[in-house]
């Protein structure tokens, strides 16, 4: 049986792993390669490296760390942040990344998703979506440039319309980051993810809000997501990977043992 | 012993190279016919779309070289698919090393495509490539098309349908999953292949 995936996310800024709360106040967690190795050995199913500065300050940062990670780890990993062209994606994939994830550039240039699909195949193309629940309009809204508070802006897309659109464009996987929940460890946004699941026919990865083991159980059982992404609970050792996977297995969630 | 990864200009060359190096072997990435022919073990990697990949390897005259090989050859993911006769992806003729064809995974509506993630094998052969592998081993799969089970199937996997997780004929072997990204279980497959008697 296909296992549900546990995916630690390492936010990268200037070659270091950082973590902020609600996308703000980033603190340094550690160096990329040793952390990547640690997570792979602990039993992570996949890793995401998210260069949080790249997309918002209009530069392409040095990505040489991608090949240093590929040399060391034997599980798949995805690189996100600042990939705006097919050529930039090619370089990252050649350095050994298994997938590339695009977020803001997909909103600015939707045809990029299709071009990436044609060149590298659907399986490489992940679209990240930053979604914010607007209590006033009662709508889930897609945001752009969330790596930089000063440039973060709302788009005209509602989340579920954008999920449908990126699948038409050729996305092979969707990471739905529920911004209201991010970094506060109060649980995944089950309600939103359930709604997303209804319109998402490709693998769906939950992001934002993991704080306890039961949050993972809930998101797999209730929202039927394919993977759950989390950062701070792993960086700060709030949750131990082996314990998490044992509990999930006991709860009847298909999981790859550590 | 020389080990060659055929340079198919596909994206997973580095991860395969690193995996072989982690096992303590030297490996050469090349499209040079003489070097490929001289190798003891040959890898045919691939990710992406079959149509585009066949175009690239045809331009490099790789099919002609591979067909002549008598040493063990292991195709990985798209590389395995290219070993068959035909792929529905781009309606393209493949290299034709192992009989069979590649078609979209025949999955009911609720089964998500691509098949992406860690899965177990439903049948495991008595074959040197799978020595030490059990139904508890998970492998990393990423694909939307597959080879249906046939007499050339080594191992199967279930996702929507039962399909060939591995196929083989004579010295040609292929795996649909990515052993280079499948942790210790995947490394075991690569090691088995490298240690296999020609």
**Tokens found for residue A177:** 């980051």
Q: Choose the weakest-confidence range: A153-162, B3-12, B114-123.
A: B3-12
Question: Chain A contact for B79, CB < 8 A?
Answer: no
Flag if A203 and B112 touch (Cβ within 8 Å). Answer: yes
Please, which pLDDT band fits residue A228 given cuts at 50, 70 and 90? very high
Q: Give catalytic status of residue B178 as yes or no.
A: yes
In the block, tokens 């995996």 appear at B19
B111 touches chain A (CB under 8 A): no
Confidence (pLDDT) at A126: 97
Contact B117 A90 (CB under 8 A): no
Please say if the pLDDT value at position A82 is more than 90. no
Tell me the C-alpha distance between A67 and A120, whole Å: 18
Cβ–Cβ below 8 Å for B18 and A70: yes
Q: Exactly one of A45, A130, A182, A226 is catalytic; name it.
A: A130
| Predicted pLDDT at A25 | 66
Cβ neighbours of A11 (radius 10 Å) = 24
How many CB atoms are closer than 10 A to CB B187? 17
Higher pLDDT, A119 or A116: A116
The domains of chain B are located at 3-195
| Domains located in chain A, CATH noted | 5-250 (3.20.20.70)
Please give the full DSSP string across A62-113, using - where no structure is assigned. Answer: --THHHHHHHH--S-EEEESS--SHHHHHHHHHTT-SEEEESHHHHH-THHH
Determine phi and psi for A25, rounding to 5 degrees. 50, 60
At the second CATH level, the architecture of B3-195 is 3-Layer(aba) Sandwich (3.40)
A98 carries an active-site annotation: no
Q: Which residues of B touch A170 (CB under 8 A)?
A: none
pLDDT at residue B182, as a whole number: 97
The pTM (predicted TM-score) of the whole model is 0.93
Shortest alpha-carbon distance between residue B33 and chain A (Å): 22
pLDDT digits (tens, 9 = 90+) for A44-70: 999 999 887 654 555 555 788 899 999
- For B48-92, write each residue's pLDDT tens digit: 788 888 998 999 999 999 999 999 999 999 999 999 999 998 899
* Percent of the residues in chain A that have a pLDDT greater than 90, as a whole number: 67
- A vs B: CB pairs below 8 A: 101
In chain B, which residue ranges form alpha helices assigned H by DSSP? Answer: 13-22, 33-38, 50-59, 62-67, 78-82, 183-195
User: What are the φ/ψ torsions at residue B164 (nearest 5 degrees)?
Assistant: -80, 115
Q: Note the ipTM here.
A: 0.91
Q: Residue B180 corresponds to which tokens in the numbers above?
A: 């280079």
| A201 Cβ contact list (under 8 Å, min separation 6) | A167, B112, B113
> Contacts of residue B159 in chain A, CB cutoff 8 Å?
2
Question: How do residues A125-143 score in pLDDT, each as one tens digit?
Answer: 999 999 999 999 999 999 9
pLDDT of residue A197: 97
Whether the per-residue pLDDT at B160 is higher than 80: the answer is: yes
The answer to whether residue B98 scores a pLDDT higher than 70 is: yes
Tokens of A178: 């529920």
| Range from A87-96, A231-240, B9-18 carrying the lowest mean pLDDT | B9-18
Contact B113 A202 (CB under 8 A): yes
Burial label for B127, CB within 10 Å (0-12, 13-18, 19+), is: middle
Q: Which residue has the tokens 């050649």?
A: A94
B186 to A45: CB separation less than 8 angstroms, yes or no: no
Residue of B nearest to A204 (CA): B112
The chain-wide mean pLDDT, for chain A, equals 90
Q: What is the pLDDT of residue A203?
A: 97
């Amino acid at each position: 049986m296909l296992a549900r995936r546990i995916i630690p996310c390492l936010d990268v800024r200037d070659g270091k792993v950082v973590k902020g709360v609600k996308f703000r106040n980033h603190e340094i967690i550690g160096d990329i390669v040793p952390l990547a190795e640690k997570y792979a050995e602990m039993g992570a199913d996949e890793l995401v490296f998210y260069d949080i500065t790249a997309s918002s300050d209009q530069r392409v940062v040095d990505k040489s760390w991608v090949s240093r990670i590929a040399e060391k780890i034997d599980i798949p990993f995805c690189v996100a942040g600042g990939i705006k062209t097919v050529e930039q994606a090619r370089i990252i994939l050649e350095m050994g990344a298994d997938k590339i994830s695009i977020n803001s550039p997909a909103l600015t240039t939707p045809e990029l998703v299709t071009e990436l699909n044609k060149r590298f195949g659907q399986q490489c193309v992940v679209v990240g979506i930053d979604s914010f629940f607007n209590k006033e309009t009662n709508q889930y809204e897609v945001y752009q440039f969330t790596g930089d508070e000063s440039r973060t802006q709302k788009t005209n897309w509602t989340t579920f319309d954008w999920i449908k659109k990126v699948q038409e464009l050729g996305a092979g996987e969707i990471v739905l980051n529920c911004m209201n929940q991010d970094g506060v460890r109060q649980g995944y946004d089950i309600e939103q993810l359930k709604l997303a699941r209804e319109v998402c026919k490709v693998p769906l990865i939950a992001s934002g809000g993991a704080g306890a083991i039961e949050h993972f159980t809930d998101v797999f059982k209730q929202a039927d997501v394919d993977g759950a992404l989390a950062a701070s609970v792993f960086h700060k050792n709030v949750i131990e990977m082996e314990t998490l996977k044992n509990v999930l297995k006991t709860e009847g969630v298909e999981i790859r043992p550590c | 012993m020389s080990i060659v990864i055929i340079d198919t200009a596909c994206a997973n060359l580095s991860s395969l190279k690193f995996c072989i190096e982690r096992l303590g072997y030297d490996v050469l990435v090349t499209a040079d016919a003489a070097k490929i022919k001289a190798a003891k073990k040959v890898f045919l990697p691939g990710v992406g779309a079959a149509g585009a990949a066949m175009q690239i390897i045809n331009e490099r005259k790789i099919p002609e070289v591979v067909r002549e090989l008598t040493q063990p050859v292991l195709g990985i993911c798209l590389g395995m698919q290219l070993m068959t006769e035909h792929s529905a992806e781009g309606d393209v003729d493949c290299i034709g090393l192992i009989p069979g064809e590649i078609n979209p995974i025949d999955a009911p509506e609720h089964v998500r495509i691509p098949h992406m993630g860690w899965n177990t094998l439903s049948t495991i052969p008595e074959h040197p490539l799978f020595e030490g592998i059990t139904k508890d081993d998970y492998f990393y799969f990423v694909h939307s098309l597959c080879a249906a089970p046939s007499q050339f199937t080594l191992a199967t996997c279930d996702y929507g349908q039962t399909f060939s997780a591995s196929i083989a004929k004579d010295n040609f072997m292929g795996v649909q999953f990515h052993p280079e990204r499948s942790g210790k279980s995947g490394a075991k497959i690569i090691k088995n292949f490298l240690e296999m008697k020609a």
